Chains A and B, each alone.
Chain A
Amino acid sequence: GTRIIYDRKFLMECRNSP
């Protein structure tokens, strides 16, 4: 199956989104 991978940039953006 496919693996759900997130890069650092995306994870950090999620931190700052409302």
Chain B
Amino acid sequence: VVVDPFSKHPLQNRWALWFFKNDKSKTWQDNLRLVTKFDTVEDFWALYSHIQLASKLTSGCDYSLFKDGIEPMWEDSWNKRGGRWLITLAKQQRHTELDRFWLETLLCLIGEMFSDYSDEVCGAVINIRAKGDKIAIWTREAENRDGVIHIGRIYKEHLGLSSKVVIGYQAHADTATKSGSLMKNKFVV
């Protein structure tokens, strides 16, 4: 086998990185910008090393990585029946675990580490917030129990979370209509 040192390793999907910056003088959609798209492992690393680490972003900013053609919002037809595995971090974890968790999340996505259930994945979002940062993997169908649970288990394993830590999956339809304290997990792992 001859390995061409100049060839890049193709990804199963083309991915789009989005950046959101909270500017109250603009609409939500105007604050959301497509940064770039990539479809090789090498181009992913070139992008990752070029952009600011999530922990260095100011509060109110988000990064989103979604499959090409899916916009990082509930309203997108690929997302509207779906939901998210949500990781909420304590304030001090921004300095200890946030960047590592986000990188592991990105690697799970681009490496298609959920095997055949990877088709269920739409993307991932990181929210940088003063009250506590959040990372989530979004999937397309909240009723697809087997797929959602499999993704949750593999995700938790890759983050290196202990079996004592419980993470929850919430349907976007519920998140959109209920306030934080009423938020109900559809599944937990």
Contact = CB atoms under 8 A, between A and B. Distances in A.
Interface in A1-18: 3-8, 10-12, 14-15
B178 interface: no
A5 B45 CA distance: 16
B45 A3 contact: no
Interface string B35-47: 0000001100100
B111 A6 contact: yes
Contacts, number: 38
26 contacts: A3-B12, A3-B112, A3-B115, A3-B116, A3-B118, A4-B10, A4-B11, A4-B12, A5-B112, A5-B113, A5-B115, A6-B9, A6-B11, A6-B41, A6-B111, A6-B112, A7-B111, A7-B113, A8-B113, A10-B111, A11-B107, A12-B107, A14-B41, A14-B42, A14-B45, A15-B45
B120 to A, nearest CB: 13
Report, as a range, how many residues of chain B touch the other chain: 10 to 19
B137 interface: no
Given A11-B41, A14-B41, A14-B45, A5 B12 contact: yes
Nearest to A16: B45
Nearest to A7: B111
Interface string B102-128: 001001001111011010000000000
